[in-house]
Amino acid sequence: MFAARYDPTGSKNISTQEKKEILLKKLKNKKNIQQNDEIIPEKDHDGDIQMENEDNEIAEETNNKRKREEIGSDSEDYSSDSSNSESESDLDSDSDSKSNSQQIQEDDSINIKNAHKSVLTRFQKVMKKQPLVNGQDEEIEEQNIEPIEVKDVAPLPQLQLPRDKQLYSQIHKNQNLDWLTKPAYYDSTTTKPFIEFKPKIEDIILKNLKNEFKIENAFSVQITLIEELLKDLKRNKLDPTPRGDYLINAATGSGKTLSYLIPIVQQLLTNGNKIKDLGLSAIIILPTKPLVQQVYSDLLKLTKGTDINIMALKSGGDLSINEENKRLKSNLINILITTPGRLVEHLNLNSINLQNLRFLVVDEADRLLNQNFQDWCDLLMNKIENNDNNDTFNNDIDKLFKLRCIKLVLSATLTTNSEKLTHLRLFKPRLVIVNSDNQQELYQLPKSLNEKVIRITEKLSYYKPLILLNLFKWIDKFDNKYNNFGIIFTKSNESTIRLNKLLNELNKSFGLNNKIDCINSMMNNQERNKILKNFDETGGILICTDLLSRGINLTSIKFVINYDLPTSTKEYVHRIGRTARAGNSGNAITLCYGEGEFKWFKKVVYSGKQINRNNKEITDIKFVKDKNDINNEGKEKDNNNDNSDIFELNLSDSDKEIYEKCLKDL
């Protein structure tokens, strides 16, 4: 054996090397077989041992082992025989060894595959149970996911809202009163004698109208409201069905006060019972104490010669609140005139019996609803409705057929604000607009009123009182003077007092005889009434605030001057409405200093087409401050044949010195 394997000549080195490789492979195969024999059988996922497969694999491995041993022995014999044989060549031995080695390699590869077959099968089973790799999983999911349709991010289409004529915006509602009821327009130029009214007015009322008020013909608003109310009162004697409330919008000075006073007095006189037993039949609410005093005076004249009891509630009056409370609880008052603040005090004291209330009048309604004193409106409406509801459970048949209280809401600038009007809780309201030519504007100016504006440079605003004093000396092209029976409107109580003192000082310094006085809210009623009476009889200049812009009925007023600009269109209408009343002529002048005030004036007066001027325009008075400007204006006037007015202002140095001195003395 040793001789056969050792070759000192080195002729068979290649075959020997191949033999070594074969032996090494055999050793490796034996080790693998031993390791496979020691493998513990695993359990499958069901817990059963795979015994049959392993037995078969062991049998195959033993057969392969036997084959390898046989091949090894044959190769040894073959090598010994070949070494002793001298006839075979080296080339044949090499080819035989190569063929044997290739066959052994093929058998080893087969044995390796068979030896690891069980391991591979188990590995394949385990891998089938494992989740897919992330990359593979995502690829499969991407293949299975359907493509998403890409859409724009525009908003989804919405259903179209139904079109309804009743779906108005709040702004649209506040432009007019069409949302509440359809207006009825009446011509402001219509007149009619009181004696021709149907139903007929009581003789004692006609007598007092002629003797106390010096009137025999009614204006348009009086014709409309008086006749309609008298018809309602006549129907209700047989039919208690309520007819509805009234909203009255008429120009200042059109006679609104008498339009509601006459029906109230008529109802009390024709009731059929004693007036003393009727109790409280009417409440008239007014915004200011001067207006309360004026309506109270008109009622005293209208009820002269009757047993009707009238009471005016006002703070600072002749009676204290306790004395007023006693008189009201006596149930002898038929008509109550009051401001909202005083009314709330008595409602809280439960001193007012609303059981027989037939009329509720809200005069100057826009101002009263804007200044809701202590929620007077809701408080009063709750009292009236609670009283009506409690009476319906009374077994008395008279209570079951109780007549509803009629609400009369009046103003020259009636509010169109839906939120404010709802506080009045109107029932079937009827809107009456007294307007010329059936125009759609809610604010109506008297036809005999002329509006004027004077634009003055802002540099001269320091001499504003001195310019006003010169205006008293001015005469327009129609020979109208502005120094007697006129009202000057300012912005505050302090400005009225200061301007009054300064103008009186300037009067003395310049040797003028203008009669100037003032009225403000800090005065008591007696002092105020005295000044108004004196002004109405003897004339002069009266300086006041917007306190007198509401309801003061003085037909003697010839002109109004807006010394300070009004704060709103409504205030402008009420201010200039103090003149040209009851068909008399009147003028209204507004002073504007600088472009800023003039723009504000245009915004207040011209905006929104709210004012009906009866096809008239505001006259722009040309302002000149020296003689050169006067001459130039005169030349332009001749060339253009212009008949416009010119306000001439000649302020000398001495005039300015006197003005400065008066300011220091003040």
Please give the average per-residue pLDDT across 306-331, as a whole number.
86
Please give the average per-residue pLDDT across 93-116, as a whole number.
53
Question: How far does Cα 569 stand from its chain's mean position?
Answer: 20
- In tens, the pLDDT along 176-204 reads 676 677 778 888 788 999 999 999 999 99
Question: Is the confidence at residue 469, as pLDDT, over 80?
Answer: yes
Asked whether the beta carbons of 94 and 15 are under 8 A apart, the reply is: yes
Question: How far does Cα 49 stand from its chain's mean position?
Answer: 86
Question: Is the confidence at residue 76, as pLDDT, over 60?
Answer: no
Q: For residue 261, give the H/E element and its range.
A: helix 256-269
Q: Which domains are seen in the chain, by residue range? A: 189-434 (3.40.50.300), 443-665 (3.40.50.300)
pLDDT for res 149: 66
Please give the average per-residue pLDDT across 377-406, as a whole number.
71
CA atoms within 13 A on the CB side of 391: 19
pLDDT for res 310: 95
- In tens, the pLDDT along 498-543 reads 999 999 999 999 999 999 999 988 888 788 889 989 999 999 999 9
Question: Is the confidence at residue 11, as pLDDT, over 70?
Answer: no
Question: How far does Cα 277 stand from its chain's mean position?
Answer: 49
Please give the average per-residue pLDDT across 54-70, as a whole number.
57
Tokens (6 digits) for 583: 């068909």
Please give the average per-residue pLDDT across 166-183, as a whole number.
60
- Confidence band (pLDDT; 50, 70, 90) for 31? low
pTM given for the model: 0.68
Mean pLDDT estimate for the chain: 78
More confident residue, 53 or 356: 356
pLDDT for res 107: 54
Asked whether the beta carbons of 230 and 199 are under 8 A apart, the reply is: yes
CA atoms of 503 and 465, how far apart (whole Å)? 7
Asked whether the beta carbons of 533 and 509 are under 8 A apart, the reply is: no
| Among 632, 587, 562, 576, residue whose Cα is nearest residue 476 | 587
pLDDT for res 229: 93
- The CA-to-CA distance between both ends of the chain, in Å, stands at 155
pLDDT for res 129: 64
pLDDT for res 646: 92
Give the largest CA-CA distance in the chain: 180
**3-state helix, strand and coil shares in percent for the chain, rounded to the nearest 5:** 50, 15, 35
Question: Is the confidence at residue 210, as pLDDT, over 90?
Answer: yes
Please give the average per-residue pLDDT across 338-348, as a whole number.
91
Strongest mean pLDDT among 233-242, 360-369, 428-437 = 360-369
pLDDT for res 629: 56
- Confidence band (pLDDT; 50, 70, 90) for 417? confident
- In tens, the pLDDT along 287-305 reads 988 889 889 999 999 999 9
pLDDT for res 41: 45
- Confidence band (pLDDT; 50, 70, 90) for 58? low
Candidate from 171-185, 200-214, 230-244 with smallest mean pLDDT: 171-185
Count how many residues are written for the chain.
Answer: 666
More confident residue, 415 or 281: 281
Question: Is the confidence at residue 259, as pLDDT, over 70?
Answer: yes
